[in-house]
Amino acid sequence: MDSNLFLEQFLTTKFIATVVLVVLLMGIRYGIARYIRRAPRNWTSQQRLKWIGTSRILVSVIVLMGVIYLWGETIQGFAVSVFAIAFAIVFSVKELCMCFNGSLVRFRGKSFEVGDRIQIGMIRGDVIETTLLSTTVQEVGKGAANHQYTGRMITFPNNLFLIEAVYNESFLENFHLLHIEVPVKISEDWQEAKKLLLQVAQEEMMPFLEQAKRSVRGFERRLGLEMPSSEPYVTMQMSGPDQIILHLRMASPSHLKERLEQVILSRYLEKRATPQLRALKASQEPRLNV
């Protein structure tokens, strides 16, 4: 209570002193200007105006210094508060501007659309919403061969588009490049395994092969690029002295990539296992000794 009363009296005293100082100095300035105008001296009108202007500047400086002297501590505290608020506003506006710029970069670059599967930094998933400030994706497991959803949605600010590279796995519009790896031992019939894997992929891709070819041709015409063939093909890679990795690459409809991968693997394993099971059953059948 006493502190509030003291503060009010202190501010009131400063306010009164400021008013008295300003009124006194304004009166002095008016008196000086009046004296200069009426002084019986051989001054030209320009000289009189010059002296009047000088006196006004001098009085204004004295008023400013007096106000700073009286209100210095109060102004300092107020300035610190204003600076803190201004810094917060500038920082927020900067982040908003970066988000807007990121949206502009995405729009002008046409890097992806809603429904595309993208990866930016450590974030990978299917885009389900884009705004001027943020982008929301349905997260997919790490790795290009992983198509399983994690059950989480991630929303990130668009300023990431200014500092991170965007990987679009759905650049063929409604199609996705599917990549499947199958390990085979060198001691096994790897030629037959390669043939079976390619055969299964060709059979599964047959219903939408022509549509995939049209999508690839349209992409080539639009960007002037030459894309790899949309038909399935299998390459090999040595992963060790006794193992070969069969790499299957093929185009798949975006909404069927998970199911198509499982169907191809299931059919391949069934075909590979059938001769071995027959041989195993034949070896286990009882034989009659004649």
Of 119, 148, 116, 141, nearest to 130 by C-alpha is: 116
Do residues 262 and 180 both lie within one domain?
yes
Residue 205 lies in a domain: yes
Residue 112 lies in a domain: no
3-state secondary structure the chain: CHHHHHHHHHHHHHHHHHHHHHHHHHHHHHHHHHHHHHCCCCCCHHHHHHHHHHHHHHHHHHHHHHHHHHHHHHHHHHHHHHHHHHHHHHHHHHHHHHHHHHHHHHHHHCCCCCCCEEEECCEEEEEEEECCCEEEEEEECCCCCCCCEEEEEEEEEHHHHHCCCEEECCCECCEEEEEEEEEEECCCCHHHHHHHHHHHHHHHHHHHHHHHHHHHHHHHHHHCCCCCCCCCEEEEEEEECCEEEEEEEEEEEHHHHHHHHHHHHHHHHHHHHHHHHHHHHHHHCCCCCC
Do residues 16 and 71 both lie within one domain?
yes
Residue that finishes a domain, picked among 80, 106, 132: 106
What is the pLDDT confidence band of residue 155, given thresholds at 50, 70 and 90? very high
Q: Is the pLDDT of residue 148 over 60?
A: yes
Q: Which of 71-85, 87-101, 190-204, 243-257 has the lowest mean pLDDT?
A: 71-85
Report the side by side order of strands in the sheet with 233-240.
Answer: 175-185, 243-253, 233-240
Do residues 150 and 59 both lie within one domain?
no
pLDDT (0 to 100) of residue 94: 80
Do residues 186 and 234 both lie within one domain?
yes
As for how many domains the chain has, the answer is 3
pLDDT (0 to 100) of residue 277: 56
Q: Which of 22-31, 137-146, 190-199 has the lowest mean pLDDT?
A: 137-146
Supply the range of the domain harboring residue 76: 2-106
Of 111, 182, 178, nearest to 147 by C-alpha is: 178
Do residues 141 and 71 both lie within one domain?
no
Do residues 151 and 194 both lie within one domain?
no
Do residues 86 and 132 both lie within one domain?
no
Residue 225 lies in a domain: yes
Q: Is the pLDDT of residue 120 over 70?
A: yes
What is the pLDDT confidence band of residue 279, given thresholds at 50, 70 and 90? low
Residue 288 lies in a domain: no
Do residues 187 and 102 both lie within one domain?
no
Domain containing residue 222: CATH number: 3.30.70
Residue 84 or 11, more confident: 84
pLDDT digits (tens, 9 = 90+) for 164-180: 888 887 766 677 778 88
Residue 93 lies in a domain: yes
- Mean pLDDT (whole number) for 217-242: 77
- Alpha-carbon gap, residue 246 to 268, rounded angstroms: 12
Residue that finishes a domain, picked among 136, 153, 168: 168
Do residues 230 and 246 both lie within one domain?
yes
Do residues 49 and 101 both lie within one domain?
yes
Do residues 135 and 220 both lie within one domain?
no
- Mean pLDDT (whole number) for 253-271: 85
Q: Give the chain's end-to-end CA distance (angstroms, integer).
A: 120
Residue 120 or 19, more confident: 120
